Structure 1
Amino acid sequence: MSNYTHLQNTPAQVATVLCCNCGVPMDGLSGLVMCHDCIKLTVDITEGIPREANLSFCRNCERFLQPPTQWIRCALESRELLALCLRKLKGLNKVRLVDASFIWTEPHSRRIRVKLTVQGEAMANTIIQQTFEVEYVVVAMQCADCAKSYTTNTWRATVQIRQKVAHKRTFLYLEQLILKHNAHVDTVNIQETKDGLDFFYAQKSHAAKMVEFLTAVAPVKNKRSEELVSQDIHSGSSQYKFTFSIELAPICRDDLVVLPKKLAHSLGNITRLVLCSKVSSMLHFIDPSTLQTADLNAPQYWRSPFPTLLDATQMVEFIVLDVEPTGDIRGKNVLADVTVSRASDLGTNDQTYYIRSHLGAILHPGDSCMGYFLTNTNLNSDLWDTLDTDNTPEVVLVKKHYERKSKKSKYRNWKLKRMAKEYNEMDDATRQARQEQEKAERDYELFLQELEEDEELRQTVNMYKAPTQAQFESDMDDDDEAPEVGLDELLDEMDDMTIS
């Protein structure tokens, strides 16, 4: 009985064999002749998977080729780019992919490195895991869409944006909205004309998408037309070119407007002589003498359109002599009784004007402001003739005016991006073209000054940090009273695709 108990407590003897490579003892029942470590060193489960591959990249539209013919937009080290890299590897379906990640490379090196971890069967009932790297060479080429853009008559749809005003401030703001929301990504070409911009597209759906964007950000009306390009009588197919004509309302920010009588009554019986305080998908008006506001949407305006009485180019500089707040406040506007005099009258006749304004929060005695001088002004307007001129103000103040030094305007610590546009119907050698260029530069400078003065307007656009030299030059004018843009409001300029 004791012998049986001794045999029962004795552990079973395990048969072991020695590894044929390193001599380490291992389980003999597994049927293997090599240990697990030696198998990992001698067997390559990644055999047949290439260590180098090519990625086709279009430098014009910054898209990668997804075989056979699709071009897709991928940011560096993104999921989409990683999926594209894995699809390019042949033989990857023979193993099990465990992990994949990018290895950092210089963005301009035209190299993309990916680290892969795979599992596979090396021998019978033996699964091993190995890690390796694959290097992709970015090959620059031109996609079919970009190739078409360099030839004539290849577009299928165009969006023509027009606004009949004497300045380009609205288009400059619209350009920044398009850039911020990347609404121009599908354009084949952009041309600048006398009264607006033309966007060309390879597909009708892309043009319709732009029309939807413009409708959401500006008071516009659109009209569509089509032209037959070719027709196949055998198959019954036809090709058309589509044109979307977009007209922006000719009312801009800071314009003085006389509302039609019925429209003013429908807008809460607001005073007919109002200022345009903001332009979005609607027109926003304010009565500077009562702080009453009204919003006019695009369909209402285009049912009975009306022009502006005076625009921002016709404003006159005034000097503030006295400010007496009345206590009425609505939002950021404070009603006040202001005594002003024209800057051109100081020292000559010293004529003063006692008016009521909505700028009581920012005006102080001695400040300069811009406004409309209505006294003894000949206005060619049917709506103005219907007003009771005895009760109209002599002066309508619009905004505070800041003195700027020329060096301050030249060197800023911020900048804006611009769209690449082609100039149509413009000869740079002509005198008229030079005048148009000087006018465009003045409009752009006024737009930049508006951004500096209005914090709410700056929040709707993307502003980028300027080079360090510009920041240094800007700091030289610390005594300039004009407002500045804080560094916390600026973005670092980074390209979406840095491969070049």
Structure 2
Amino acid sequence: MNYESIFGTTASAINGGATPLNLVQTSQPAQPMATVLCCNCGVPIDGTAGLSMCYDCIKLSVDITEGIQRESTLNFCRNCERWLRPPNAWVTASLESRELLALCLKRLKGLGKVRLIDASFIWTEPHSRRIKVKLTVQGEAFGSAIVQQSFEVEYVVIAMQCPDCAKSFTANTWRATVQIRQKVPHKRTFFYLEQLILKHNAHRDTISIQETKDGLDFFYSQKNHAIKMIEFLSTVTPIRTKKSSELISMDTHTSVRSYKFTFSCEIVPICKDDLVCLPRKIAKASGNISQITLCNRVGNSVHLIDPITLDQMDLQSTTYWRQPFSTLSNSMNLTEFIVLDVEFTGFEKGKLALADVTVARSSDMGRNDISYYIRSHLGGILHPGDTVLGYFLSNVNFNHELWDTLDQSTVPEVVLVKKSYPRKKKNKGRNWRLRRMAKEYNTMEDMGSSMSTKQRQIEQDRVERDYEIFLQELEEDPELRSTINLYKSGNKTNRDVNMADAGTGIDADLQMGEAMETDPHGGESIDDDSEDEGSNAGSLPEVGLDELLDEIDELTLEDGYLEE
């Protein structure tokens, strides 16, 4: 078969009758490339590029990074943990963050002559006060050759004070203050509030913090910062706020006035585990709940519960301040009881369960056989032999106007509050710690000048006791622990916050909760090994490792990076 005639005919038809081209074309020989030898190493290179050296020799003989700084400085404020961005702006940036990398690049001179390809941090010792950055740049050499090179830049961190922090050490520089008060005989509310402020970083704009007898004072350089703090407090605690202003100066020509603003925030004086007697009008308006209730939880409202019927209500701050009343008793007056028998009623509501419990006072054990048959909301966690804390209302008389209006026949003899657990000894410590705010104690020092040494020691012991009770509440209540941050202790030696050396309330330190040698409710410390010998059937709840945060994630720059 003549394939050539067939292909020719087909090609002629496609080309519209034109003469077809030959199917097999003869390839033309490639033109030889003009090469020259490198003047340095003798390697053949393309001569059409107009270069006399190869790429490797150009990289060795040409430095495109010439004129770029290899050393620079960064200014850092220890108090507010901000970095200086010239000319006078102070920005917040964590270590090895994109914000800090951008600040480092802006401090380099001569970087605009080349093209930046990559930039990254190089690890340095935490206490070296050095930050190293590796840069990769591209630039032209000999007119047409593009060269890429990498080099390191070292920054020296210089500690200084920003203008805002410098003002905080000067008297009469604040423009707004938030005064938080709660008239209760303990400070556990402020310990919990402190943890909430640290978790949400609500003290960022604070220039100073002072402690007073019944609360804390937060000072701010701007009114907007104080209003922001009040909005945060209203979301976590039931408060009422009053505002006042003081005229400092006035320009008679422009009528421009300068004021100092004071915001007074008073927290509802009802705390967790307090015994509350409600006014009859409020009790009827809340579903006809019993007037004798327990405070189960405090958030932006006060959560009350009837321990006999499990009825619950939320007491709003506006409702309370419309008709204020005081509590019957607080957790400092709890009495220890021994559970003799538990009979479940079968009624449950959430985590609470009603049960008929037979209890006897611990002080009566071995002396008499007096027992009390009561109904309690702790039926789900109580067992015979447990130790429980409660209010002993039999033959008691409160100096309270609402107590006198009650029908005494309906008042229970005992109101159980919470289960008691054996406590660890001081030398065993805890596997977790809390972060603490550093405060200025100028006000306390002024007050302490009129106090004797014995009175100061009593006041210090009271604060330590309140803090230990707060730590115990965290151990016993997982729901309460979930609202704050707990950190791993790392088996380190306990260290207290040096309040006198702290300049502002912005600095923070990590402090481990240290157990007291004696039980804050009056009993002696019980070792873990003596659980089987004692009457307690349950053991102290332990904080799981999954609830703890790593210490390195929350260390401040002063503690973990700039500390000498």
- CA drift of 1:202 comes to 1.6
- Say yes or no: does 1:376 pair with 2:395: yes
- Are the counterparts in 1 of residues 422 and 528 from structure 2 also a CA contact under 8 Å? no
Give the Å deviation of 1:6.
12
What CA distance in whole angstroms lies between the structure 1 residues aligned with 2:74 and 2:354? 64
Q: Contact (CA 8 Å) 1:75, 1:496: kept in 2 or not? A: no
Aligned to 1:12: 31
Decide whether aligned partners of structure 1 residues 384 and 429 sit closer, same or farther in structure 2, where only a CA change above 3 A counts: closer
Amino acid at match of 2:49: S
> What are the residue-to-residue correspondences of 1:171-210 with 2, within 5 Å?
171-210=190-229
Deviation per residue, 1:251-273 (Å, 9 max, x gap): 00001112222222222222221
**AA in 2 matched with 1:282:** S
Q: How does 1:96-495 map to 2 (within 5 A)?
A: 96-404=115-423, 406-407=425-426, 411-423=429-441, 424=443, 425-427=447-449, 429-468=452-491, 477-480=528-531, 481-494=539-552, 495=555
* Residues 405, 112 of structure 1: alpha-carbon distance in 2 compared, 3 angstrom cutoff: closer
2:562 maps to what in 1? 499
Task: Quote how far apart the aligned CAs of 1:22 are.
Answer: 2.3
Counterpart-to-counterpart distance in 2, 1:279 and 1:217: 8
Q: CA deviation at 1:429?
A: 4.8
Count of matched residue positions in the alignment of Structure 1 and Structure 2: 494
Structure 2: tracts of 5 or more residues without a match: 1-23, 495-513, 516-525, 532-538
Is the contact between residue 337 and residue 360 of structure 2 (CA under 8 Å) also seen in structure 1? yes
**Greater Cα shift, 79-88 or 172-181:** 172-181
Q: Provide the C-alpha distance between the structure 2 equivalents of 1:13 and 1:414, rounded to a whole number of angstroms.
A: 77
Which letter maps to 2:440? E
Offset of 1:36 from its aligned partner?
2.2
Counterparts of 2:456 and 2:440, CA distance in 1: 14
TM-superposed deviation, 1:388: 2.1
- Measured in 2, the distance between the counterparts of 1:198 and 1:381 equals 31
Amino acid at match of 2:421: Y
Shift, 1:206, TM fit? 1.6
Q: Aligned with 2:464: secondary structure?
A: helix
Q: Which moved more, 1:429-438 or 1:44-53?
A: 429-438
Contact 1:412–1:470 (CA under 8 A) maintained in structure 2: no
Q: Deviations over 1:192-237 (max 9, x none)?
A: 1110011111222221111111111100111111111122223432
CA distance in 1, matches of 2:287, 2:527: 50
**Structure of higher CA gyration radius:** 2
Instruction: Tell me the distance in 1 between the aligned counterparts of 2:49 and 2:490.
Output: 68
Superposed CA offset, 1:418-468 (max 9, x none) = 211223222375432221111111111111111111111111122222242
Deviation at 1:293, TM superposition (A): 1.4
Report if the CA contact (8 A) 1:189-1:200 is conserved.
yes
What CA deviation, in whole Å up to 9, does each residue of 1:342-363 have, x standing for no partner? 2222333422211100011111
Out of 417-426 and 131-140, give the one that drifted further: 417-426
Q: Per-residue displacement from partner, 1:343-399 (whole Å, max 9, x unpaired)?
A: 222333422211100011111112211111112111122222222221121111001
Question: Normalising to structure 1: TM-score of the pair?
Answer: 0.94
> For residues 8 and 485 of structure 1, do their structure 2 counterparts lie closer, same or farther at Cα, with a shift above 3 Å needed?
closer
Comparing 304-313 with 328-337, greater Cα deviation is found at 304-313
Amino acid at match of 1:178: I
After alignment, is 477-486 or 25-34 more displaced? Answer: 477-486
TM superposition shift of 1:243:
0.9
One-letter identity of the residue aligned with 2:349: R
Q: TM-score, normalised by structure 2?
A: 0.83
SS in 2 for 1:86: helix
1:476–1:319 distance in 2 versus 1, CA, 3 Å: closer
Q: Is the 8 A contact 1:411 1:470 kept in 2?
A: no
Q: CA deviation at 1:8?
A: 6.5
Q: Which is further off, 424-433 or 224-233?
A: 424-433
Q: CA deviation at 1:477?
A: 4.0
Secondary structure at the counterpart of residue 44 of structure 1: coil
Distance verdict in 2 for CA 1:122–1:236, change over 3 Å: farther
Alpha-carbon distance between aligned partners in 1 of 2:27 and 2:90, rounded to the nearest angstrom = 73
**Structure 1 equivalent of residue 17 of structure 2:** none
User: Equivalent residue of 1:175, what SS?
Assistant: helix
1:400 Cα offset (Å)? 0.9
The answer for the alignment partner of 2:62 in structure 1 is 43
| 1:46-71: CA deviation from partner (whole Å, max 9, x where unpaired) | 11111000001112222111111111
Aligned residue in 2 for 1:85:
104
Alpha-carbon distance in 2 for matches of 1:138, 1:25: 49
Please state how far the C-alpha of 1:406 moved relative to its aligned partner.
4.2
